[in-house]
Amino acid sequence: MTAPRSALSLLAAVLCLTTLCMAPRPAQGETIDDAYRGALKAYYAGNFDDAIKRLERLSALPMHHEDLFYNLGCAYFRKGELGKAIFNFERALTLDPGFEDARFNLETARSMVRQKVKDVLKGVAGETFWGSLLRKLTLGSWWWLFIALWWLTLGVLYGLRFVKPGPARAGLIAVNTLLAILALSSGLLLAGKIQAGRGLKEGIVLPEKVAVREGPDASARTTFKLHAGLKVQLKAESPGWRRIRLANGLEGWIPRGDLGILERQADPCRRP
């Protein structure tokens, strides 16, 4: 087990339990810490149902924070509800892509799902390389990377005016070409990040198993089944139902409550 973080409160550090899932960390800030106190106490006492109830109540408020979702994911993980654990670790990473504890626990939960079930449909699990790359950085980080590469490209290009023909100039031209390619690539990824934030909605399958139907009706024919923790795209909604698309292009309808939606907008209560 990874050692507790230094950011953990004294109470959390003393009560930290040995577990495959890293122990949850308290939220930063006195007000949020007070709101978490009862939930954390229930968690460390092994009363995961009560911890989940309290944390879910907090998550319903317009004050989302990555630590809240991380703790909620840990509670669901300890209870064995891997779909909801994965959903909440993903929510934490949506707010803070650099949250390594959440990423570790997410991979741990996904590994446990893979040990329990085997995908019959090809190309269902996972996400594209570009989608995974976009999630590595926040929108602001992609902006800074693009601007930095752009100015470096212009700087090297300007410097070429003062370098005489020869090996040094040839080397600078090669470097400038590489920087230009990187700047263009980061610009395209930045555009993709902006577009994804505007239009694309993704969700996580919550139940251990869910039947995907041809239409938004319980009597509609089942076309295939999905397992907990699978990431899908949300394409449409109908009363009580959601239409989803898999990574391999298959589509269908599942009950509304069986899909947790990943919100992409920035939250004012994120820690800096």
> DSSP readout, 93-161?
HHH-TT-HHHHHHHHHHHHHHHHH----STT-SS--HHHHHHTTS-HHHHHHHHHHHHHHHHHHHHHGG
Q: In what order do the strands lie in the sheet with 241-245?
A: 222-227, 209-213, 251-255, 241-245, 231-238, 202-205, 259-262
Which pLDDT score is estimated for 257? 94
**Would the pLDDT of 1 be above 60?**
no
Which pLDDT score is estimated for 19? 41
* Region of residue 29 (phi > 0: left; psi between -120 and 50: alpha; otherwise: beta): left
Determine which of 64-68, 190-194, 226-230, 253-257 has the lowest per-residue pLDDT on average.
190-194
30: confidence class by pLDDT, cuts 50, 70, 90:
very low
Which pLDDT score is estimated for 217? 92
221: confidence class by pLDDT, cuts 50, 70, 90:
very high
**Would the pLDDT of 9 be above 80?**
no
pTM summary value: 0.66
**Would the pLDDT of 2 be above 60?**
no
Cα–Cα distances in Å, from 10 out to 16, 101, 268?
A: 10, 19, 27
Per-residue pLDDT tens digits for 105-142: 999 999 999 888 765 555 445 555 656 666 667 677 87
Average model confidence (pLDDT) across the chain: 79
